[in-house]
Amino acid sequence: MEQNAKYNRKKRILLLIFCFIIIAITSFIYLNTNTLNSWIKIIPDTGTYSSIRAVEITGDGVLDIVIGGGGKEYNPSDNGIMAFNGASGELLWNVPVRNQIVGSAIFNDIDNDGIKDVFIGGRSAQLYAISGKTGKKIWEFLPTEASMDLANDTTLLNFFNPQWVPDMDNDGLKDLLVSFGGFVWIHWTKLTPQKAMHSTMVRNCRSVGC
């Protein structure tokens, strides 16, 4: 009995040593072949109220990053919508805008290139569909015109976070539901329920013109 107990103890010790060696070898291999990269990206003269959204753009198996941004309110910016390589932090593309992009992106591939496209909104009636692959505009709700008065035109309100809804026009694609409102120069004490400036829009995600 005593011999069997000693044998079992030795067996357990050898098994523990074997398991430890396997764990050590596996950890060594992982740390030397899957080194995690960390990066920091600073975009000069650009702030954001948008939330980071992750989506595969580059096809490397690491989710990439899309975020809205901008400069001072009512001022144009080259960095309104930005996509970054999730592995390296490299700027993949950026979209110029007329005012801050304060919404957060949602995704759907509408140009059939295998890469999800970006849908995002912001101040001054900005709502975009952007090619996830190239960063080019597929459509926009209201193109910029030189005559626009961003600070005083009460029709140029803000698009907030869009949501997907079922296909409303039978074109085979989900459509967008998005809130539109928030004229910043009207003090809240002057608003009545009838005068409150907000609305809800349902948009076709394939084309702005429907």
Q: What is the pLDDT of residues 117-158, one digit of tens each?
A: 999 999 999 999 999 999 999 999 999 999 999 988 989 999
pLDDT at 198 over 50: no
**152 contacts 185 by C-beta, under 8 angstroms:** yes
Q: What is the pLDDT of residues 152-191, one digit of tens each?
A: 898 999 999 999 999 999 999 999 999 999 876 665 555 5
Q: pLDDT-based confidence at 207, cuts 50/70/90?
A: low
The whole-number pLDDT of residue 140 equals 97
Distance, in Å, from the CA atom of 46 to the CA atom of 71, rounded to the nearest integer, reads 5
pLDDT at 199 over 50: no
Q: pLDDT-based confidence at 52, cuts 50/70/90?
A: very high
Instruction: Round the CA-based radius of gyration of the chain to a whole number and report it.
Output: 26
Q: pLDDT-based confidence at 13, cuts 50/70/90?
A: confident
CA–CA distances in Å: residue 49 to residues 9, 28, 101 = 62, 41, 8
Distance, in Å, from the CA atom of 20 to the CA atom of 15, rounded to the nearest integer, reads 9
Distance, in Å, from the CA atom of 34 to the CA atom of 60, rounded to the nearest integer, reads 14
Q: pLDDT-based confidence at 38, cuts 50/70/90?
A: confident
Average pLDDT value for residue range 37-42: 86
**Range ranked top by mean pLDDT from 29-43, 82-96, 148-162:** 82-96
Q: What percent of the chain has pLDDT over 70?
A: 71
pLDDT at 101 over 80: yes
To which H or E segment does residue 68 belong? strand 64-68
Distance, in Å, from the CA atom of 209 to the CA atom of 49, rounded to the nearest integer, reads 28
- The dihedral over CA atoms of 59, 62, 68, 72, expressed in degrees to the nearest 10, equals -120
Q: Which residue has the higher pLDDT, 206 or 120?
A: 120
Average pLDDT value for residue range 91-99: 97
Q: Which residue has the higher pLDDT, 5 or 117?
A: 117
Other residues' Cβ atoms within 10 Å of the Cβ of residue 120: 29
Q: pLDDT-based confidence at 194, cuts 50/70/90?
A: very low
